[in-house]
Amino acid sequence: MKALMLGYGNVGKALNSLIRERSPKLGLDIKVEGVVTRRGIMLNQREDFHPDKEGTVLEALDLINPDLVIDVSSANYEDGEPSLSLYLESLSRGINVVTANKAPLALNFSRIMAVAEKNGAKVGFQATVMSGTPSINLLRAMRAAEVRKIRGILNGTTNYILTRMNEGLDYLSALKEAQRRGYAETDPEHDVNGFDAAAKLTILANFALKKPVTLKDVEFSGIKDVTQDKVKEAARKGKKIKLIANAGEGSLRVMTSEISPEDPLYHVDGVTNALDVHTDVQEVVIIGPGAGPLNAAFGVFSDIVLMYKGTF
């Protein structure tokens, strides 16, 4: 099985190692034949990618003619490119796609899935929500139930900051600590303003609730207005402030809420993520890490294994 990978940063390198080490043990014969980065196309020669060759992702698609396209590139929320064009062209040729990139799906979920269905191709996107912790794939296994509502803590950066504020730090001190520990980007705006969680909620709403929505349909706000006074006031009532993503009952929202100890999300602290799924049969809660290169790589690899073992 030949694969073409878009992006080759920390996630891409971790994923390639997983593919090399674990595919044979699982009875899969997969080889990443080439990767496309901003520098151009790099071809796999003796398990090493070289030399650089000028070209676009669509030119790489023609050059390699892969069975599988993997996207571990950075998100572009302006228009989803170049990933979106790569997905649409690959799927139109019947080539499966597995991605960790939220942007194309948050912007064009319905369009991408329509092209996939028309051409008998598959799209794996577990790594876009909670990374390697099986959120999407949990929902995939719950198809017999009707999902009515989803709530979640979907951003580890903001959850860590709020956790540390609950322990006494002010917002700026907690943010700086998160940056020092690698839990927050140098520019954390997409995290702290709720945008990242909104993108994930858009994907969940499309997949689990069958709502044909995009990012523009989500009402979101972040945590920058949370003060120590607000945290202490919530604590006096026995509650915590959390950034909660909520889909169901006709609304899509990401905003801070005061939640009580009986709420399953109350004890989800640090960089941990959680998903609380309400169906017509039961309520299911999944808790686990939602970030990190190896975790993201594991999410992508899990999709590949499920897809090619026929259980996707």
Read out DSSP for the chain? -EEEEE--SHHHHHHHHHHHHHTGGGT---EEEEEEETTEEEEESSSSEEEEE---HHHHHHHH--SEEEE-PPP-TTT-TTHHHHHHHHHHTT-EEEE--HHHHHHHHHHHHHHHHHTT--EE-GGGSSTTS-SHHHHHTTTTS-EEEEEEE--HHHHHHHHHHHTT--HHHHHHHHHHTTSS-SS-HHHHTSHHHHHHHHHHHHHHS-----GGG-EE--STT--HHHHHHHHHTT-EEEEEEEEETTEEEEEEEEE-TTSTTTT--TTEEEEEEEESS-EEEEEEE---HHHHHHHHHHHHHHHHTT--
**What is d(CA 9, CA 294) in angstroms, rounded to the nearest whole number?**
11
Q: 122, 200, 240, 242: which one is catalytic?
A: 200
Beta strand pairing status for 31-37 and 219-220?
unpaired
**What is d(CA 30, CA 28) in angstroms, rounded to the nearest whole number?**
6
**Binding annotation for NADPH:** 102
**Binding annotation for NADP(+):** 7-12
**Binding annotation:** 7-12, 102, 185
Asked if 207 and 139 count as a contact pair (C-beta separation under 8 A), the reply is yes
**Binding annotation for L-homoserine:** 185
Of the candidates 3, 2, 1, 24, the residue with the CA atom closest to the CA atom of residue 12: 3
Q: Name the token pair of 200.
A: 């994930």
- What end-to-end distance do the CA atoms of the chain give, in Å? 17
Q: Is 309 labeled as catalytic in the residue annotation?
A: no
Give me the active site residues, please.
200
